[in-house]
Amino acid sequence: MQPEHTTRPEEAVVIGGGIVGVCCALYLQREGHRVTLIDPAAPGDSTAKWSCGQMAVSEVIPLSKPGILKKIPGWLLDQKGPLALRPAALPGILPWFLRFLACARHTSIVQIAEALSTLTHEVYEDYAPLLADCDNKALLGQKPIIEVFDSSAGLAQERPHLEQRQALGFKHEELDAHAISDLEPALAGKFKHGLLFPDWRAVSDTEGFIAALTQSFIDKGGVRIRDEVHHLIESGGRAAGVELANGNCLPAHHVVVAAGNGSRRFFGQLGVDIPLLGIAGYQVVLPEPGVEIRHSVIYADGGFCFAPMTRGLQIGGTIEFTGKNAAPNFKRAEIIRDKAKRILPQLNLEGAEFGIGRRPFLPDTKPVIDRSSRLPNVMMAFGHGQLGLTLGATTGRLISDLVAGRQPAQSLAPFSANRF
């Protein structure tokens, strides 16, 4: 059901055309605002394009899991592991890492998981009206997600987190070798231990998913400009609009900063000091893989995922702490490609395409969804880490609530820009 429109349409500008930005634009549009979406890249060419495409609704346990401190030396020494840390980057990201490690306490993990779960429980309901307006009704698949382990030890290590997820209302089923082979014949005989997440889903084309939502926004009268925002125009303690890199100025009653890592350039004007770090996630796309993978499959011990997409089989998920403005290290992509080949020797690697998405992470794994205290008509929506695709629509709904002056259904206190 379409929300009631505001009595007088107002101009809104959304900075950032990735999944979070376009969902914010769509929800503002549904409120009756005249919305302009600004991004220098083509629709769909964003961080979420280079993701596994999962609606990871129970992925609420923060990256700073218990025992993380013991693993850091290994990250420095083993550049082939699922998580890597470039030694040269350590001095620059040390303050971020200290905050990150502080979140590894049990009480912090419980609080973070509880806060994120209040958002992820709403994912499908919040996406439903946006997807209903798209021409392609099969943008979101209906198959659950599978996770496989090399041994029972890996599954045992995950059980405390599974119990925590279950206590928060999320489901899982344990799989044996027979169940895994039934679901994924290509993996028959390769894994004896696994999990099924019946409440997860996956999109079949991460780029196309964002592009389709963008086209729906444009079809309903939205404007998308390919440019960068140079700065916010201020007047009387509020944002009066934005100035583009080309010198053009756009007036606005409301502004949303949803530019992922690019949001940092506005922190001074927003009056915030937020430890936002881009963490590199590498992907490989095999256009003609020669192997049928039916579900999105997480290989826990390998640290990557097999994600069947319309453009081919996407293999990715390995991440690297690199520091700001570091050049991609596509040897990381080669590592997961070669690991995948060892599991599935029949994989056809010809025509492989490498990609990188820099996930905008905050030390506590939670995004910022808040109003600027310095410029109260500017909303902030960034720092979603690996949950950008999952939380895109929910963030859009919450931002539209803030713009309208409504009390959101979920508490936004855990996602405050000032929590650091």
Domain ranges of the chain: 11-47+208-273+365-415, 62-107+142-203+276-361
Q: Which CATH architecture has domain 62-107+142-203+276-361?
A: 2-Layer Sandwich (3.30)
φ, ψ for residue 386, nearest 5 deg: -90, 5
d(CA 220, CA 98): 46
d(CA 245, CA 177): 56
Predicted confidence at residue 2, as pLDDT, reads 47
Phi-psi region of 105 (alpha: psi -120 to 50; beta: other; left: phi over 0): beta
Predicted confidence at residue 63, as pLDDT, reads 82
Closest CA to 61 of 120, 16, 4: 120
CATH number belonging to the domain at 11-47+208-273+365-415, selected among 3.50.50.60, 1.10.8.60, 3.30.1600.10, 3.40.50.720: 3.50.50.60
Closest CA to 60 of 216, 169, 151: 169
Predicted confidence at residue 68, as pLDDT, reads 63
Q: Say if residue 327 is exposed, middle or buried (CB neighbours under 10 Å; 0-12, 13-18, 19+).
A: exposed
DSSP 213: H
Q: Say if residue 346 is exposed, middle or buried (CB neighbours under 10 Å; 0-12, 13-18, 19+).
A: exposed
Predicted confidence at residue 6, as pLDDT, reads 43
Predicted confidence at residue 61, as pLDDT, reads 92
Predicted confidence at residue 83, as pLDDT, reads 77
Helical segments of 78-176, H only: 90-102, 106-120, 123-132, 152-167
Task: Going from the first residue of the chain to its last (420 residues), give the mean pLDDT of each consecutive group of 10, the final group possibly shorter.
Answer: 56 98 98 97 90 95 74 66 79 89 90 97 98 94 96 92 96 98 97 98 95 98 97 97 97 98 97 94 95 96 92 88 83 91 96 93 96 98 96 98 96 96
Computed over its alpha carbons, how large is the radius of gyration of the chain? 21
Helix/strand number for the chain, H first, E second: 11, 20
